[in-house]
Structure 1
Amino acid sequence: MKRSPLTLASASVLTAALAAGLVACSAPAPSATAPIETAQLLSAFAQGTGGAVVSDTQQSTRAGIDVLKSGGNAADAAVAVAAMLGVTDPFVAGLGGGGYLVYYDAKTGQVSTIDGRETARAADTSSLFLDPGSGKPLSTEQANVGGIAVGVPGQLALWQRAIERWGKQDLGSALKPAIAVADQGFPVTTALQNQIADSQKTFGTFRNTADTYLPGGKPLAAGQLLKNPDLARTYQTIADQGTDAFYKGEIGQAVVDAVTKPPVAEGKSASIGNMTMADLASYQALDADPIRSSYRGLDVYGMGSSSSGGVTVGEALKILEQFPLKDESKAVATMRFLEASKLAFADRNAYVGDRASVKVPDDVLLSEGFAKSRACLIDPAKALPAPQPAGSLTATDCSVPVASGVETAEGQQTNHFVVSDAEGNVASYTNTINFYGGSGILVPGRGFLLNNELTDFDFAASAPGADDPNLPAPGKRPRSSMSPTIVLQAGKPYLALGSPGGSTIITTVLQVLMNRIDLGMSLQDAVAAPRASQRNGATTLIEPAFEKLPEADQAKAAGYKFVVAPTPDQNPASVTPPTIGVVAALEFSPPGAGAAAEITAVGETERRGGTSAQVVTAGG
C-alpha cells in the first residue's frame, strides 16, 4: 500500500499523552501547540466577557481564543478558527473550498460581507452537467465524484481579504495554531469516524484518499492519532510565500493536476475537470454588500447572492412579521414558520442566482408590500400546496400565486462558527467543501480535499427555454444557502448565528431566530429545540423529536407530510444520527451594550457529536 500522507498512531499514543499531562480535564485548556484532546473537555455553552468562539471542534475554538488572548481581533481569530477546521474538520471545509463571512466592525458600526464562494471555471458552460450523448442531466454520483464539479477555491482568498480589511495580525500568525496541530496530530472523534464511513465509497475511488482515511479498507477508528504533515507543509508555504503560492504557484499547480488528472485507484473511474492556472490566478474574494432586513425593530444582516441565505431568511422574517406570533399558540406559530419558509423558498428558487450574472430583486423580495401579499396566503389550518405555480413579483394581493422553481440538492456537510472580541467586533462565518469529503480528491502531497460545489448549480433549466438564474456559466458562482447572520439592536450586536445543512441552513437560522425573538426561548433552548425544514416541497424534513411535539399534530392535520432526516441527497445507509443543522450562536446582553456586553456562547450538545463554545473571561 502506498504510504499515506497522513500518519496514524494507536490509541496508546493518546494514553501516553494523558500520562504526560498534555490533557488535563481539570486544568485550564492547553495552548494550540498541545493538541491532544478528550471528548470530556467539550462544552457547548459558555458565558462571560472579552470575546468568544463557537465552532465544530475544541481545537478550532481554542485556536480562536488563543488568538484573541494574544492581541488579535475577531478577524484574526476567525481565520485561525477556519484554518484549524481545515485540520480537525477536514471532510467539511478547508483550503479546497470556500465560504461567506459577515463581519461587524465596532469602530465604524458597519456590517460588511466577503464572498469567498467557489467559481465555475472559464471552460464551464450551461451544459456542464449534461451527458453529451443523451443531453440528459448526469446522475448525482457522476457529478459529485471527481474533477467535474470542483469549483475554483475561494477560502484562502477570503482569509487574506478579512485580515487585510480588519485584522491586527498577519496571515502567517493566524495559520500557526493549525500548523502545530496538523503536524502533531489529534485523536479521531466518533463524528469524524462516522463521516468517513458515510463517504467510504467516494473515498475508495481515489488512491491517496483511500490510503489516508481507509487504511486496510476500513474507516479510521475513533481515538487514533491523525497527523497531516502535508497540510502543515502547505500552510507553512502559504505563511512564508503568501496566497500567490496557492493561486499562482506550486500549490495551485497541484490542485489543477488533481482536477484534470484525478488520482483514481486501480479499477476505479472518476470525472475530469477543466481547471487551469488561469482560473486560479483570476479568482477574487469579493467585498459584497450585505442583505439588510428589519424584524420586530431589529436589523438583520446576511449574505447577498451568490448566497440566497440573506434574502430568503429576510423574506421569511418579513412574512412572519405580519403576524403577532408572541400572542399566538406555539402550534399556530409553527405553522406560520413552515408556510413562510415555503413561500420564501418558492421565490428564492425562481429569482435568486449569482448577482454578477443575474439581476436579483432583493428590494422587492424584502419589501413590506410583497411580504403582505405572501402572508395573506397563509392559513394555519390548511397547508398551501407545493410546489406553487409561477407568479408575479408585482403581486399586491392574495389573488396572485407565489413563484416557483427548481431546488438544487445541496450538500449538507458544511460548518459554521462565530467569533467576537473585546473591542465588540463580531464575525459570523460559514464555510464548506459541500458533501462530506467534497469531490473525494485529496490533493496529492498537499493534505486537503477539493470541493464539489459546482453541483450547487442547477443541472438543467426547469423547462426547455425557461429562464433559470442558477445554471453554470464561466466564472459564475453557484447559488448557495449559507446564511451567516448578525442581528443588531440599536446599532449594536444582539445575535450572531448560522449553521451548515445545505438548503436547510435557511430554515434552521429562521427557526432559531423565531424561537429566540418571538417565542421567548433562551438562546440555549432556541438552538436545542427540535427542527423542521419546509422548502416549498411536498414533504417537510424533520428531526425525529419534532414529530413528538404537540405542534406537529396540528401541522399534520393541516396537511403536512413529514420525512425524517437524512434527506435523499445523503447516504441512505448513513451512520450519522439524523439531524438538521449544527448551529453556532452568540448573544450579547443587554442588547446594544456594545463591547461591554456579556456574551452567551451556544453550540450543539448532541448534533454532529457536539460542538465547542468558549469565552475569553468566564463568568463576566
Structure 2
Amino acid sequence: MNKNNRRVWWALSPIALSLGLAGCGGASRNDAQDTATILATIAAINAANQPPAPDNGCLTSTGNSSVVVGSGDAGDPAAPEAASGYAPGHKLVYAKTYMVVANHPLATRAGCDVLKAGGSAVDAAVAVQAVLGLVEPQSSGLGGGAFMLYYDAATKKVQAYDGRETAPAAANENYLRYIDPTGADTTPPLPGGARASGRSIGTPGAVRMLDLAYQDHGKLPWKDLFGYGITLASDGFLIGGRMAAAISSSATSLKRDAEATAYFFNADGTPKALGTRLQNPAYAKTLTTIATQGANAFYTGDVAKGIVDKIGITTAANDGSAITPGMTTLTDLANYKAKRRDPVCGTYRDYYVCSMSPPSSGGIAVVASLGILETFNMGLYKPTAIDIEGGKPTVMGVHLVSEAERLAYADRDKYVADTDFVPLPGGSVDTMINKPYLQSRASLISLTKSMGVAQAGNLGAVPLGIDKTEEHGTTHFTIVDKQGNVVSMTTTVESTLGSFHMTQGFMLNNQLTDFSANPNDTVDPSIKVANRVAPGKRPRSTMAPTLVFKKQSDGSMGEFVMGTGSPGGGTIIQFVVKTVVGALDWGLDAQQATSLVDFGASNSATTNVGGEHPNIDATNSGLNDPLVAGLIGLGHKVSVSAQSSGVSTVIRTSVGGKTVLTGGADPRREGIVLGDTFTP
C-alpha cells in the first residue's frame, strides 16, 4: 500500500469514524447504510493495494503435480523423444491471461517466462526465436527470415512485419541457375544446384524484423530477452527427435561445412543422436553480442563478416570439392531493412480474418480460400465422430475446402510476388479478395466432381511465377500477453537445415530458392515470370500467420478470437485453412482444430489427406478408408502421405462467464502450450 492510500485507509477506517475524523472533521450523521458504503469503499481500496497473488504460470501438468519445462524432472516435456509423426492425446490447455504455443518445449518456456515477468507478446517472440534457433536449427534461426502479425489490444490495430530475406545487390535473374549469372558459364551452381551453394543464401531478416517490432511494442529491456537462450547454449540441451533425424538425413551436405561437422557429428564422423547433450558456445556468444549491442551488431562488425565469409566459401571442408559462392557483401547486410506492411484482411461469416501480405502469398490465398468457402454452408459438413483428435473429416467438407484452395492457389501462382517489384492486379489486394470476385470463383466449384487443376482468374496480364518448393525448415508460434496483445509469427530457414552453411553457431538459410530459378515463362520464354530474382528483391513465400476477430455489426473488426499459423512450405495455406474452418465452422476447440487431419490441395489434381493421423487408414494407399474412397469417387487423386504441419493455435473463449485463453499444439511436432494455466 503506498503512502497516499494509507492516508485514505486511515481516514475511512472504523477507528477514524468512531473518533469523528471522517468527512470534514465531524462525526457522520448517516445511519448504518452509509457506514456500510464506506466500509465497502475501504475493502475495495485495501483489495487494490494487496500484493498480487503469486503467478504460478509456465508449469506443465504431469499427473497430479506440475513440472518446470527443461528441468529434466519426471514428466518434463522437453525430454527428447523420437519423431513419431503424430502423438495422439494432446489435451486442450486453458490459461487465464497469457499463453505461448511454440513447436519446441524449451522455446515455449522461454516465451512464457518473459510473459510471466510482465513482458509483451513481442518481448516473448524475441525470446522464443532465440531458443528456436538453438533447439530447432533445422527449422528456423538467426540466419533465416520471418513474418509476424501483431495485434495491439489498446489500439485494436493489426500490423504486419516483414523480415523476409533479400537477394544481394549483385544478383540478377540468372543468379540461381548459372555459375556465371552473366551467362558466360551456364553450368548450374555447385555442388548440384543452388540449394547447397552460397547462391541460395538470402540476407537474413529475422533479427532486424524482431528489432523493428520490439521498437514498436517492446516492454522489457532488450538485453533481458536472450538469457534463457544463452544459458541453454552454454550449458547444453538434449537433441530431440526431429533435430536428430535432420542431422542424419543431411549428413553428406552438412559435412561440406567445417563448423557444421564439428557441431553435429561425433569424432568418428557419426551423427550426434537423439538425447545427446549439445553445447553451442558460438551461439551463446552471438546471442550475447545481439543482447548487449543490439540488432545492429548482427548486421555489421564481426558477426556480419562471419556471415559474408561463409556465404563466400568455394570449397567443401571434407573433400575440397567446389561450392559456388554467393555474392552477398557487408553492404548487403548493413543495408537490410525489415518492413512494416498492411496485413491482408477480409471478412468470413461473422468474423474478420487478417493474414500476411506480400511478399508472402499465404495471406492472400488463405483469405481468398475462406471467401470462396463463404458461399457454402460449411457447417453441414463438419467432421463425424469428433474426438480429441478432431474427428473424421467428411467427404464433402474436404472436397469443398480443396476446391476453394485450388482456385486460390491458381491466382496466387500467377499474380503474387514481392509487391515492391511486381504490383498486384489493379495495384491492390482487394482485386483478388473482394466478395463479387470470390463469389464468381466459387461458382466454378461442382458438388459432384473435382476440377482437378484450376485456371487463374482473368485479372490482367501478369506473368506466371509458380514456386513449388517444399519447405521443411520452418516453424510457427502464437503468443498472447497479459494485456491481450497477440503475436502470430512464422519463421524459417526454408529447407531442413537451410543451405547447410553454418557460422557462429547458427545455420544460414537457402531462402533464395523460393524464387523461380528460370526467369522466363516455360510456355512463352519471351515473358518474364513475376517471382524471378532481382537485386534486393524478396522471394515469394507461403507463410501465413493469421489472426481472427469478431466482426461487429458495422462490419469492422471487433474482439480478438483466434491466432494460428503453421510451417509446411506450399502446404501452409492448407494447414491454416483447415484449422480456421475447423474452429469457426465446425466448432472444434483450439486443440481439436490443430490436431484435425491435415487436408487440402494446391493447384494440382492431387488432394492431400494426412495419413499420419490416427483417424485415417493409410494402408493400401488409403483405398480402405471411406474418406479417401469418397474423394476418389468425386474425381480427386488422393495422396495419404504424412503431412508435417506445426500448427500453433490460441482461441479466446468464455469459461464460467470469464474470458480465458485456450491453446493447442500440433501433435505432429514437439511443441507444447504454456501460460498461467488452470483446469476449468
TM-score normalized by the length of structure 1: 0.87
Contact preservation (8 Å) 1:207, 1:263:
no
| Structure 2 counterpart SS, 1:143 | coil
Contact preservation (8 Å) 2:574, 2:600:
yes
**Aligned residue among 627, 642, 653 for 1:589:** 653
Per the alignment, residue 368 of structure 2 pairs with 315
Structure 1 Cα separation of the partners of residues 73 and 599 of structure 2 = 33
Number of positions where the alignment pairs a residue of Structure 1 with one of Structure 2:
571
Give 1:514 deviation, angstroms: 1.2
Q: Does 1:356 align with 2:409?
A: no
**Aligned residue among 111, 132, 157 for 2:208:** 157
Per the alignment, residue 218 of structure 2 pairs with 167
Per the alignment, residue 437 of structure 2 pairs with 370
**Aligned residue among 521, 524, 528 for 1:462:** 521
| Structure 1 counterpart SS, 2:148 | strand
1:29-428 to structure 2, matched below 5 A, reads 29-30=67-68, 36=72, 40-41=76-77, 45-131=92-178, 132=183, 141-215=192-266, 216-261=268-313, 264-267=316-319, 268-328=321-381, 330-361=394-425, 362-386=429-453, 388-389=454-455, 391-393=457-459, 406-428=466-488
Per the alignment, residue 437 of structure 1 pairs with 497
Rate the CA distance shift 1:243–1:44 in 2: closer, same or farther, 3 A: farther
Contact preservation (8 Å) 2:362, 2:542:
yes
Rate the CA distance shift 1:484–1:586 in 2: closer, same or farther, 3 A: same
Identity of aligned residues (%): 33
**Aligned residue among 621, 624, 628 for 1:552:** 628
Give 1:151 deviation, angstroms: 0.2
Rate the CA distance shift 1:403–1:450 in 2: closer, same or farther, 3 A: closer
Contact preservation (8 Å) 1:504, 1:580:
no
Structure 2 Cα separation of the partners of residues 308 and 377 of structure 1 = 22
Structure 1 Cα separation of the partners of residues 174 and 628 of structure 2 = 42
Contact preservation (8 Å) 1:406, 1:462:
no
Q: Which runs of 5+ in 1 are unaligned?
A: 1-22, 396-401, 566-577
Give the stretch that moved more between structures: 371-380 or 135-144. 135-144
Rate the CA distance shift 1:615–1:318 in 2: closer, same or farther, 3 A: same
Rate the CA distance shift 1:38–1:343 in 2: closer, same or farther, 3 A: farther
Q: Deviations over 1:358-403 (max 9, x none)?
A: 11131111011111121111113211132x45551279xxxxxx99
Structure 2 Cα separation of the partners of residues 137 and 505 of structure 1 = 29
Contact preservation (8 Å) 1:159, 1:171:
no
Give 1:134 deviation, angstroms: 7.5
Rate the CA distance shift 1:139–1:297 in 2: closer, same or farther, 3 A: farther
| Structure 2 counterpart SS, 1:49 | strand
Structure 2 Cα separation of the partners of residues 558 and 404 of structure 1 = 29
Contact preservation (8 Å) 1:319, 1:374:
yes
Contact preservation (8 Å) 2:315, 2:322:
no
| Structure 1 counterpart SS, 2:275 | coil
Give the stretch that moved more between structures: 168-177 or 151-160. 168-177
Rate the CA distance shift 1:136–1:179 in 2: closer, same or farther, 3 A: same
Task: Give the number of the structure with larger relative contact order, counting CA–CA contacts within 8 Å between residues 6 or more apart.
Answer: 1
Give 1:141 deviation, angstroms: 4.6
Structure 1 Cα separation of the partners of residues 437 and 322 of structure 2 = 49
| Structure 2 counterpart SS, 1:104 | strand
Contact preservation (8 Å) 2:108, 2:671:
no
Structure 1 Cα separation of the partners of residues 61 and 278 of structure 2 = 20
Q: Deviations over 1:252-271 (max 9, x none)?
A: 00000000125722324322
**Aligned residue among 531, 534, 538 for 1:473:** 534
Contact preservation (8 Å) 2:200, 2:511:
yes
Rate the CA distance shift 1:367–1:27 in 2: closer, same or farther, 3 A: same
Task: Select the structure of larger CA radius of gyration.
Answer: 2
Name the amino acid aligned to 1:339. E
Per the alignment, residue 600 of structure 1 pairs with 662
Give 1:197 deviation, angstroms: 1.6
**Aligned residue among 560, 563, 567 for 1:496:** 563
TM-score normalized by the length of structure 2: 0.80
Structure 1 Cα separation of the partners of residues 253 and 216 of structure 2 = 38
Per the alignment, residue 83 of structure 2 pairs with none
Give 1:251 deviation, angstroms: 0.2
Rate the CA distance shift 1:288–1:38 in 2: closer, same or farther, 3 A: farther
**Aligned residue among 443, 447, 452 for 2:505:** 447
Contact preservation (8 Å) 1:98, 1:433:
yes
Per the alignment, residue 10 of structure 2 pairs with none
Q: Which runs of 5+ in 2 are unaligned?
A: 1-59, 79-89, 383-393, 553-557, 617-621
Structure 1 Cα separation of the partners of residues 654 and 313 of structure 2 = 55
Contact preservation (8 Å) 1:413, 1:435:
yes
| Structure 2 counterpart SS, 1:51 | strand
Q: Does 1:616 align with 2:676?
A: yes
| Structure 2 counterpart SS, 1:144 | coil
RMSD: 2.5
Q: Deviations over 1:123-161 (max 9, x none)?
A: 111111223467587699521102111000001101111
Contact preservation (8 Å) 1:263, 1:441:
no
Give 1:276 deviation, angstroms: 0.3
Rate the CA distance shift 1:40–1:66 in 2: closer, same or farther, 3 A: closer
